[in-house]
Structure 1
């Protein structure tokens, strides 16, 4: 009996079935040491060997290298190459072990795709550059599509492609084809390049520099105005990157202001949204356009007001998530700097209730924008009957602002709150007193 038990244990060990009992006395499977990653200590999904001869799981060792380490974690030996080599022998042994132990719930590890190497990325980018110089639209389009497909295979591929200068190469190609005489002939390759650029985002300064040109911005606006949803989304995301960059912002805004139909295309994306990401991007661009110090900013505001942006923003604000709310309030704050914009806001029944509701309910930014808008509307109130001031009192603005003053806010907002309270106090006798507890019972206090 003892010999039989010993033979079973020896056979199990040979098959890699090292077992141990858990606290409940049940048999548990132990992963063989050679199959474990020295970093994570987990079963390796994609074993790779470094120049030091030590095998690791690819994900673990690539994180180690990307963190700026150039030595083998186990031996501390300086690595001659940072390109890990797939260890097919260990991988096949692990796969066989998984199959043998499937009765323990072990699933077979699929054969991983070999990630793209820096050399392969450089080769594709060189070919794209040659195609760009030859104005070979079909060749360039095929190469960009290949690069984009590789980037979508895995985050690892995407990082490798991006860190090897793909953004700059693609932006340069985009600028080259937009500067060509026939936009219609180049539309397909430009769309492919733009899609790949968005996959690579965020772009570095050099890559953005190629996109800040009159032909490139004009092309983005044309894409933004087209009926293709994917094209419109990619175009607005690219424009958002440019206006959010302090280095390129002024030039981008000047170019946008000079292009007929730009503000209309951005407004259309808010009115008929493609997705929340593109709507937020459009609001961000509009905010920068109307709050810039350029001579055309007020002209853009007038266009937006005539298009009906005020009711659209207010309807958006009624029920929306935090980021969208902040951006919509930011645009509305810029709109009410304009006399026509203030008039439209004052005449809309949603304006005051929505603004008062957003104070202390969303975020610090939303509160600051709401107070700013309310201040501008009340400050410019001309009627003796109080108008928007009385309306603000009726919906509990006085109590809300008092609470904000007690909780604290930035100096600029604090000053506006104090002035608003003075304006509201002059008309308090025109409305019935409101019990503060009734107003704040559903308030999500930030304390």
Structure 2
């Protein structure tokens, strides 16, 4: 094989291997299907790797049957030299009529078997999952879950939620809207009443997708009770929930933050306290970014800031994440400190910022390799209260003076 010269146009530009299933993108470049689908779907890229031209995923990939036949003939001709044969193209299993399988979801004697068959199809490949979603499986599963909620039955619920997670998790950045109805929100909140941790995690993920794809009107209609229950589940988890469940619930809260009505409901539900407790239980990059993002929105109100300050670790936990997690976390943490110092900067609060190291951390931001806007925000906070902080033994006057110039 080493001594055989492979025609250049048989080689995939991504894998640099002989193509087994060549497909041509709208950019005119041909790739091996598996390589380009991984590039588009798993890595969430939207450009042609060679030309940098924009691609819109599955619809842009056209099978190159002529090239495939040429590759097959060449491989057969050189098989004696160790070249692997390219198998003939078989009809994919995904061609099984999806409509029939979806109808079978509602037949009690076929329900579990149908869900398992659909899951097997979904696990075959990224292409299969895309096809299933485009064929309406996600909305069919949403309808099925709602039907379980209405009847109070749990048979098939675990399998349906697991399948919904299987088809949507890898494609959550690119799928179209899931059915927008308050019933699916109520149904998923009902699922949280069960003791199965896996089911709860998948329900939390489904809730995240539904809320993310919802129009602003649906988000505005979310009731205060919804946020009370989300806060309750965060509080109830107390370190026992999975990262998937916690982060999904945090995503739900963040999606609701643009609405002042929702922010007020969260603060009233004690969400600020719960977020601080989540962060104290065991910080993780994505969790921290989500927590700080929600806290920033909630601290835009006096009640939200008061709740943060009433927690013994409120200012401290925000301060300690600065320069420890990511640039996104830095931005959100410094903005929170800015809101607190500007609108709730009482003598006691300013002294607490000295005690927990907030002032020292802001001085460090000024000297670190940070974005210019972040340094400017830190300088603004330091300048605003330098007269109070300059006489404290907790901070060097020379350092404070240098950072506020």
The two structures share one fold, judged by TM-score above 0.5 = yes
- 2:11 alignment counterpart: 39
Residue 325 of structure 2 aligns to a residue whose secondary structure is coil
Check if 1:312 corresponds to 2:284: no
The verdict on how the C-alpha distance between 1:85 and 1:408 changes in structure 2, with shifts beyond 3 A counting, is: closer
Pick 1 or 2: higher relative contact order, CA cutoff 8 A, min separation 6: 2
1:427 and 1:273 map into 2 onto residues whose CA distance is 41
- 2:167 alignment counterpart: 200
- 1:389 alignment counterpart: 350
More moved, 399-408 vs 61-70: 61-70
The verdict on how the C-alpha distance between 1:431 and 1:66 changes in structure 2, with shifts beyond 3 A counting, is: same
More moved, 341-350 vs 29-38: 29-38
RMSD (Å), alpha carbons: 4.7
Correspondent of 1:136 among 95, 107, 111: 107
Correspondent of 2:267 among 287, 296, 301: 301
Residue 281 of structure 1 aligns to a residue whose secondary structure is helix
Shift of 1:251: 0.8
Contact 1:310/1:341 (<8 A) preserved: no
Check if 1:162 corresponds to 2:117: no
The verdict on how the C-alpha distance between 1:85 and 1:268 changes in structure 2, with shifts beyond 3 A counting, is: farther
Q: What are the within-5 Å matches in structure 2 for residues 360-379 of structure 1? A: 360-379=323-342
Check if 1:277 corresponds to 2:244: yes
The verdict on how the C-alpha distance between 1:227 and 1:250 changes in structure 2, with shifts beyond 3 A counting, is: farther
| Paired positions, count | 370
Shift of 1:312: 0.3
Shift of 1:261: 5.7
Q: What are the within-5 Å matches in structure 2 for residues 107-146 of structure 1? A: 117=92, 120-131=93-104, 135-146=106-117
Shift of 1:194: 2.4
The verdict on how the C-alpha distance between 1:286 and 1:47 changes in structure 2, with shifts beyond 3 A counting, is: closer
* Structure 1 gap ranges (5+): 1-28, 51-55, 73-78, 99-108, 438-447
Contact 1:178/1:216 (<8 A) preserved: yes
Contact 1:336/1:377 (<8 A) preserved: yes
Check if 1:236 corresponds to 2:198: no
Residue 152 of structure 1 aligns to a residue whose secondary structure is helix
- 1:9 alignment counterpart: none
2:231 and 2:394 map into 1 onto residues whose CA distance is 44
The verdict on how the C-alpha distance between 1:408 and 1:47 changes in structure 2, with shifts beyond 3 A counting, is: closer
Shift of 1:231: 0.9
- 1:105 alignment counterpart: none
TM-score (norm 2): 0.70
Residue 202 of structure 2 aligns to a residue whose secondary structure is helix
Residue 410 of structure 1 aligns to a residue whose secondary structure is helix
* CA deviation string 1:268-320 (max 9, x = no partner): 4752343223322222212333x2325343133221359x415404514xx63
Contact 1:220/1:239 (<8 A) preserved: yes
Contact 1:301/1:338 (<8 A) preserved: no
The verdict on how the C-alpha distance between 1:124 and 1:346 changes in structure 2, with shifts beyond 3 A counting, is: same
1:393 and 1:269 map into 2 onto residues whose CA distance is 33
Shift of 1:146: 1.0
1:326 and 1:233 map into 2 onto residues whose CA distance is 20
Contact 1:172/1:207 (<8 A) preserved: no
